[in-house]
Amino acid sequence: MTTPRRLPTIAAYDMPAEGDWPASRANWALDPARCALLVHDMQAYFLDAFPAQGSPREPLIANVAVLVTACRKAGIPVVYTAQNGEQDPRDRGLQGDLWGPGMRAVPEHETVDPAVAPAPGDHVLVKHRYSAFQRSNLATLLRARGRDQLLVCGVYAHIGCQATAFEAFQRDIHPFLIADAVADFSRDWHDAALRIVADCSGVVLPTAQVLETIK
């Protein structure tokens, strides 16, 4: 029987800078009138795997915070995913085989980081699987608001963020992965996620370019 993995203790690493990832195959232009921002799993349980100070945690939180503020100001919908603690194994499904029981139902695990916490008017979806679209109304929420582009930020880049970008693409929603507003188990995993999304499912952009477009 395979022993389920737990979250690793993540070593510090520098955020990628523009030029550290390949050009995206897609040439979609980000449009503030068409996009929504997805803040993916920015909960204490996931963030506490990173060192408390330094990179990538501090720039991740800072960049997500400025994106959230800018999107709210521009009238762009802001959507959060957040897992519930102590999930019934029948609901957790195969994730339990790989990652064990997951977080407990306590604030120290479930709370979204205060610097990027949801505000009135934002939308919070309960997260069930890697992709934010699975077992949620994300697709309906976007369609009802006339949004067919999705900005993706948060953790972890090569798991939920990448899975969400792939599913958005398969639903004909343009995904934009924000390179320095995601973080991962290591710089290698982070870079791999950027390369894969740039190659076959979305556009990879830095925070500064997104802010310049939506201001």
Which pairs from 86-95 meet CB under 8 Å and 24+ separation?
91/128, 93/129, 95/129, 95/130
pLDDT band for position 96 (50/70/90)? confident
Burial of 142 (0-12, 13-18, 19+ CB in 10 A): buried
- Catalytic residues, by residue number, are 41
pLDDT score recorded for residue 87: 79
Task: Supply φ then ψ for residue 182, to 5 degrees.
Answer: -125, 165
Q: How far apart are CA 101 and CA 85, in angstroms?
A: 9
pLDDT score recorded for residue 5: 64
3-class secondary structure, 200:
helix
Torsion sign over Cα 182, 185, 187, 189: negative
Higher pLDDT, 171 or 109: 171
pLDDT band for position 2 (50/70/90)? low
Percent of the chain with pLDDT over 70: 97
Average pLDDT, rounded, for the chain:
93
pLDDT score recorded for residue 181: 98
Q: What is the pTM of this model?
A: 0.94
Q: What is the pLDDT of residues 139-192, one digit of tens each?
A: 999 999 999 999 999 999 999 999 999 999 999 999 999 999 999 999 999 999
In single-letter form, the type of residue at position 115 comes to: A
pLDDT score recorded for residue 85: 64
Cα angle, residue 98 at apex, residues 127 and 196 outer, rounded to 5°: 70
Q: What is the pLDDT of residues 111-147, one digit of tens each?
A: 899 999 999 999 999 998 889 999 899 999 999 999 9
Fold type of domain 35-214: Rossmann fold (3.40.50)
Please give the helix or strand (H or E) that residue 181 lies within, else none: strand 174-183
Task: Supply φ then ψ for residue 178, to 5 degrees.
Answer: -90, 110
pLDDT score recorded for residue 173: 98
- Give how far the C-alpha of residue 206 lies from the chain's centroid of Cα atoms, to the nearest Å: 14
Q: Domain spans of the chain? A: 35-214
Helices (H) and strands (E) in the chain, counts: 9, 6
pLDDT band for position 100 (50/70/90)? confident
